Structure formats: structure tokens, C-alpha cells
Amino acid sequence: MVQIHPPRRRKVDTSIVSSLPSEIRMDSISSELVADLPPFLRLYKNGRVERLVGTDVVPPLTDPESGVQSKDVVVDQETAVSARLFLPKTTDPNQKLPLLVYFHGGGFCIETAFSPVYHNYLNSLAAEASVVAVSVDYRRAPEHPLPAAYGDSWTAVKWIASHSACGSSGEDEWLKTRVDFDRVFFGGDSAGANIAHHMAIRVGSEGLAGVNLVGIVLIHPYFGGKDPIGGERDDLNGKEFADKLWKVAFPSSSGSDDPLFNPGMDPKLSGLGCRKVIVFVAEKDLLRDRGWRYKEELEKSGWGGTAEVVEAAEENHVFHLFNPTCDNAVAMLKRVAAFLN
């Protein structure tokens, strides 16, 4: 595949190995493996990370079918946090459009904003919903353990807000001239949905001048908890993997009931900084019941907005990325587009 950026020379912190919880370490005498998490990655004793999937990238372009344009921008020079922007084709070049800030999935460890599946999905969504989209490329664990991805994502959110009427320091022409900052949404899938939720929590607690966060779109959100619920009881191996991945991504976490992983444990939940939430779940996804539980916890918290869950029958985790033309994926794309409008 085409490499759109020179390899990032982010320093690998070998201390991540020694900081990992003991229960996820492996005998490294012969293999030198510290954590083996197929099909995602392997982490070696010397700090080397071998990603097994999610390493391909595609360049920005103007899509010949939809007319959607895309480009890459650097958000923060110091951390190399960047983003891919998508601008749909419209009949009125002066029309202000809703904005979707999107956070990609991959267990906080794999994929990027430039991965083919995410480029294609955001391209399709920008065209279908007629929205400007910003796909955030945050630093990934385990080289950059959580909460780095949360901090990077908030940096990107603030950079985007700098283009609003209250900002004035932003220099990107698309964001300055084509975005209606009264109609802003956060979204993401899997780990990215987790990030989208926490960015909305931060908007609620800290505010975001010049931006009206209308709602969030959470697709198959990667949430957890110490005690298994629903279908997790029938797939304890899957539950163990989800918990182990969280510990690799966030070695200093308090565990599976960390409020960053289990929203029901967060005292700030009622302060979610938007009034509309839509959660997509898949019937065969291990994380299905966590999506339903999220809605229940949100409503129980006293949050004053409206939340809905949409379930896709007979589907598994992030099916829409890998089979985007199937009936359920097309229906979900249209449902997201309707939510954004």
C-alpha cells in the first residue's frame, strides 16, 4: 500500500513491559513474548510490538464516485497527532455542514485514521450524510499506553474547536468555511466509541467554547466490567481476552471496573455533554450486552437526554467495516446519516 506519511519516530517506551500486570505476562525465556493477543498483536520483552493486522494505509484523494475530497493534517507537531478530513460534494460551495469527529477502533492498539477500512467508511458516510468528517489519528498502545489516546483525542477536539467563531486561531480552510459548529457530533467504533463517549464526558465537565455537541454515535462500543453480563457468561474466553487487551492498552488502569472502561462506574456519567446518543450493537458480538448496559446506565444516571440502541441481527463485531455492502451495513449507514441530520 502507499505510505502517506514517513514512519513516525515515536520513541518506544520499554518500561511498558515491566508495568504490565503479572497475570498477562508469558514465559519469555525462549519466545521473549510478554503478551500474545491474536489476531491483534504480539508484545516482546524488548518493547517491540508486532501488529498482525491493521497496518495498511491509503492516501487521501478525491473519490471519483462520490466526489468526496480528503486530505491529511497535522494536529500537534510535538506528538505527531494528525487527522484525515473529508469534505462532501455539494451544490452550494458556501453551505455550512454538520461536523462528525470520528475516532477509529482497534482496541487502542491497531488500525489508524488512514487504514483502508476507515478511509472507505468515512468517505461513504460523508457522502451519505453530507457532513464534514474529521478522522482522528491518535497515538496507540502499547508504545503509548492509555490515557495517551484520550489526551490526543482531546487535543484534536480542541484543535477543531479553534476554527469556530470563538476560536479564531484555526487555519484549516475546510473547517473555517464549511462547518456549522452548532451541529457537531462525535462518533467511533469499538475502542473509538469508547473514546467518543469520554470526549463527550469531557465536553460536559470542561466545556468546549464555540461548539454545540449535539450527539454521539457509538458503534459496537468497547466497554467492560469486572463481572460478566449477558452473553459474556457464555463466552468467558472472549471476556478474558477483552479484559486482557484493556490491561495491555492501559497497564496502570485500576482494572475492568475502571470508569474509563466501565461507564457505569463513572460519577460523571450524568454530565455527558450532549443530548442525543445512538448506540449500535450486533447480535453475535461479545460486546453486545455492554452496549445495551450503557444505555441503561446512562438513563439511570439522571442524564437528561435521549438514547436509543439499534441492533443488527446475525452480525458480529464491526461487520460494517468488512462487509459494507451487506443489507445490515447499508441500513446502518443510512441510520447514522439520519442521526447526523
Q: Which three cell numbers stand for residue 71?
A: 486530505
The b/e string for 107-134 (b: 16+ C-beta within 10 A; e otherwise) is bbbbbbbbbebbbebbbbbbbbbbbbbb
9/255 Cα distance (integer angstroms): 30
Task: Please enumerate in sequence order all residues whose Cβ is within 8 A of that of 257, keeping only pairs 6 or more positions apart, or say none.
Answer: 225, 226, 265
Q: Which residues are catalytic?
A: 190, 285, 317
| C-alpha of 297 from chain center | 20
Report how far apart the first and last C-alpha atoms of the chain are (Å, whole number). Answer: 34
122/132 Cα distance (integer angstroms): 10
